[in-house]
Structure 1
């Protein structure tokens, strides 16, 4: 296999054709306990990261929003209330198990009228050009096989002036924080995954996938190369997480 034929699955080098199936296995395994594990892993701080994403989205009543890799629907629920009856939110995820959990949760909360649920690959979005005012992808880009292709397709389906927000784990700036974060990720998370979700391997993969994901400046450059303008990022929790924002000119 040549370098062009391979990609990362955690620390493993795998054929690009294999990655989607391997990632699907991870999320099939963790879907039912995903929300609980998010709260436990982050101490609930993930809710603050998502709230900041909402604040920077600029979403208003009547807007159309696409939440890619939307999983169990945390962002979609908030956007649904923001856009109101005149707007629409599409919750998209490549993984059927995650999409089902998200759909059932949002329907249970009575948020069906302005929501649509679509199983979709971020690299091949099944939407017309210039369809959305805002696109978000939270903790999903690192699982995409071809990130450049996905960013290009996100740009395609955004309306001119629309915003992309990428919320993702990134690289801590402080060496001491980075060391503590590594110890937590590789010692505590797999044990927590085994005890709570019955799956330590999937959470070991999630920790590895964060380490091979592009750092803040690299991702900023990738968004600019894809055609986004005014790209900026905001570090949160010392750079453990970063929110990148770009605009379609």
Structure 2
């Protein structure tokens, strides 16, 4: 598991003030690409402060189900409060749990999303997270990932961010990853992508489907 859940516990009350203004538009972009629809059973891994879970709940509607999981108990508390304020607690399940051992049965979900979460894991753990995604997704299920993108060539901001990440990995914990390549390598077929920049850093949103027999 990533070594940062205690940091997120400490930051949970202030996280939206620190990060939602920059991360929020890309989270929304990822959800638009994923195209969650009424009646679907949906999961957000790394639900954080609950913004995405509220959106998933509204997309799933009265006939669907939106679930969220986060390793940080502090983030779960903030997300639960947001769900209460948004009056979307019906048809929503929020779990305090580990992405490497998702607390859900196999073939449960139509679609999964995660924003600025996959890149918190090292290569071996990332493979484990994506294996868990394949396990809980139904056949031909979708996964949507928003992450800092390992674009080439690196610009000065990417190089600066990389230096800060290496010096202070607990506080600057995300790192750029080749999103589409990783998904393709771990049993998914990318079907849609969009890119942008956050404070000069490349960000990519990718939606992929499970590959039969992967």
Question: Shared fold by TM > 0.5?
Answer: yes
Contact 2:180 2:190 (8 Å CA) reproduced: no
Over 4 Å off, 4+ runs:
172-175, 181-187
CA shift in 2, pair 1:181/1:97, >3 Å: same
CA shift in 2, pair 1:221/1:170, >3 Å: closer
Unmatched 5+ residue regions in structure 1?
1-18, 190-200
More helix as a share of residues? 1
1:51 to 28, 33, 47: 28
User: TM-score by structure 2 length?
Assistant: 0.85
Report what 1:16 is aligned to: none
Report what 1:210 is aligned to: 174
**1:212-238, Cα deviation, whole Å (9 max, x unpaired):** x43x2xx42332232112455432127
Unmatched 5+ residue regions in structure 2?
none
Equivalences for 1:68-217 in 2 at 5 Å? 68-145=45-122, 146-173=125-152, 175=154, 178-183=155-160, 205-207=170-172, 209-211=173-175, 213-214=176-177, 216=178
Number of matched pairs = 205
Please provide the CA RMSD for this pair.
2.4
Whole-angstrom CA distance in 1 between matches of 2:110 and 2:209: 10
Report what 2:18 is aligned to: 37
**1:20-64, Cα deviation, whole Å (9 max, x unpaired):** 4x312211121110001014xxxx343321221111112111111
User: TM-score by structure 1 length?
Assistant: 0.74
The Cα shift of 1:65 comes to 0.4
Whole-angstrom CA distance in 2 between matches of 1:76 and 1:94: 15
Report what 1:245 is aligned to: 207
Report what 1:61 is aligned to: 38
